[in-house]
Amino acid sequence: MPKIKTLRTKKPPDGFAEIEDTLLDFANRLKDIETAAHDGKKKNESLWPIFQITHQRSRYVFDLYYEREAISTELYQWLLKQGYADANLIAKWKKQGYEKLCCLRCIQAKENTYSATCVCRVPKHKLDKDKVVECVTCGCKGCASSD
């Protein structure tokens, strides 16, 4: 009879070792930015790289699980729980029209002035050609899925 494991360990689920290096890389890049000086930058702008890296990290986890099917559900959920990916953002990516959404704030009407959503959510063909698209929150240059 096989032994039934009842021991609860705090160790990450199987498969973590394979992606650990990449996750560490994201963590190091975040640390670098947080410790770098923000001289001459507006407060919002100094936060953009942080949003962009955490976005990339969420996307990485999302791809691993949904696109490449390279990790187990157990590991995926563990990563979410540990804060390696934003579950709320990933929930949006699964919806039509939000596949490329950069951050949740861009779809919160109150914080933005551009009609109901952030300027980065407006398809490029609907904007003036000369207009600079830049999300104030994360510096996104456009994440409408029709672009």
Rounded to the nearest angstrom, the gap between the alpha carbon of residue 113 and the centroid of all alpha carbons in its chain is 23
Nearer to Zn ion, 14 or 123 (CB): 123
Counts of helices then strands in the chain (DSSP H, E): 4, 0
Smallest distance from the beta carbon of 135 to Zn ion, in angstroms? 4
Smallest distance from the beta carbon of 98 to Zn ion, in angstroms? 10
Q: In terms of C-beta density within 10 A (0-12 exposed, 13-18 middle, 19 or more buried), how is residue 125 classed?
A: exposed
Nearer to Zn ion, 19 or 120 (CB): 120
Over the window 106 to 145, marking each residue x when it contacts Zn ion by CB under 5 A and - when it does not, the resulting string is x-------------x--------------x-xx-x--x--
What residues contact 146, with CB distance under 8 A and at least 6 apart?
123
Q: Taking contact as CB under 5 A, which single stretch among the options 2-10, 26-34, 80-88, 102-110 is the one that binds Zn ion?
A: 102-110
The reply to whether 102 sits near Zn ion by the rule CB under 5 A is yes
Distance between CA 87 and CA 62 in Å, rounded?
A: 9
Query: What is the binding site for Zn ion (CB under 5 A)?
Result: 102-103, 106, 120, 135, 137-138, 140, 143
